[in-house]
Amino acid sequence: MKYLYYILVIIVLSVCDTNVIAQQSPLFSDYYYTPVLINPAHTGYHSNTEISLSNFGYLNQFEGNPRTFSGVYNTSTLKNKVGIGGGFISDKIGVTSVTTIFASYAYKLYFDHHYNRARWWDYNPSVLSFGLTTGVILIHEKLSELGIQGDPNFKNDIDITVPTLGIGMLYNQKDFYLGISVQNLFSNTATNDKNINVTIPYYFYGGYRWYFNRFEELRFQPSFLAKYVSGAPLQFDLNFSVNYKNKIEVGAGYRTNSSFNALASFYFFDTWRFAYNYTIYKNNTPFNNTNGFILTYRFGEGF
């Protein structure tokens, strides 16, 4: 098992063409329910304050498997025109640990201030939002634990703090939404360490909502996410979910050349939501199947 662990770490470091892995993409359960992780324009998206905790991969015992833990605080103020949030993302794969601590801000323009028709759904029906996020990335690599001799790149451990900046935009209507964002701007120019190469991911995503009865109790929602990072293939996530009155939701997803995902979430006491995610990796990836969950509490009227 230890031999396989070393092989996994070396493969990942080689693919990244650097001694550091930058922040992983949040997986299906993360960005589906806490999209502020990839786009600050979602900050304050709901009128009520929301707190979320999520983990992915911690129940998998395979040594070196990717693990992600995140926490997000999100609220709206100034008559819902301004969103303020913050949180952290902690990623670990092999000997590499990357923790991002961030604060986010969004300004929202509304197109339907008097939308008072009955609805079960929990989003602002007509909004254009602009977001900004800033923070730091804490990178730690225990390269000395690999025991690789004769290569100076693996001689010393790495500990470095890198500032980060991200921007995004979101357009949302009742039936569809579109978002675009970029993360980790200027991070590489802020460090002199040649061993550090923080990737800059570009996200473009959207979805469509179908309602299948007059009371709009049942919602079908296909969605997509495209991610581009320089030097890597363009990545697509294709997802589909079914929601009944914000009481129960099930979904499935596919990530190109990587994995299949399944998700189920349950709403209870009006203010709590628990979502479970299971990921099946394809045979050409070095990871085992794994799972995770996300727990969300929303104040006020809840969901």
What pLDDT, on the 0 to 100 scale, is given for residue 25? 55
pTM of the entire predicted model: 0.83
Residue by residue, DSSP assigns 251-268 as EEEEETTTEEEEEEEEEE
CB atoms within 10 A of CB 5: 16
- Going along the chain from its start, the domains and CATH numbers come out as 2-298 (2.40.160)
Within 8 A by CB and 6+ apart from 114, the residues are none
Give the Cα separation of 228 and 213 in Å (integer): 38
Rounded percentage of the chain residues whose pLDDT exceeds 70: 74
Q: Give residue 24's Cα distance to chain centre.
A: 9
| Of 241 and 115, the one with more pLDDT | 241
300 φ/ψ sector (left φ>0, alpha ψ -120 to 50, else beta): left
- C-alpha distance across the termini of the chain, in Å: 45
User: Across residues 79-98, what is the average pLDDT?
Assistant: 88
> CB of 273 within 8 A of CB of 33?
yes
| Residue 2 clears pLDDT 60, i.e. is over it | no
Alpha-carbon distances, residue 33 vs 27, 123, 179, 274 (angstroms): 10, 12, 14, 10
Is-contact 186 165, C-beta < 8 A? Answer: yes
Q: Tell me how crowded residue 25 is: count the other CB atoms within 10 A of its CB.
A: 21
Tell me the pLDDT band of 158, cut-offs 50, 70 and 90: confident
On whether the CB atoms of residues 97 and 25 are closer than 8 A, the answer is no
Confidence category of residue 6, pLDDT binned at 50, 70, 90 = very low
Residue 231 pairs with which residues in a beta bridge?
none
Phi and psi at residue 143, to the nearest 5°: -65, -30
Residue whose C-alpha is closest to residue 143's, from 133, 152, 132: 152
pLDDT at 31: 83
3 state DSSP class of 19: coil
Q: How confident is the model at residue 20 (pLDDT cuts 50, 70, 90)?
A: very low
Lowest mean pLDDT among 24-38, 205-219, 266-280: 24-38
Please say if the pLDDT value at position 77 is more than 50. Answer: yes
Can you give the pLDDT at residue 150?
60
Q: What is the mean pLDDT of the chain?
A: 81
pLDDT number for residue 16? 37
d(CA 254, CA 78): 39
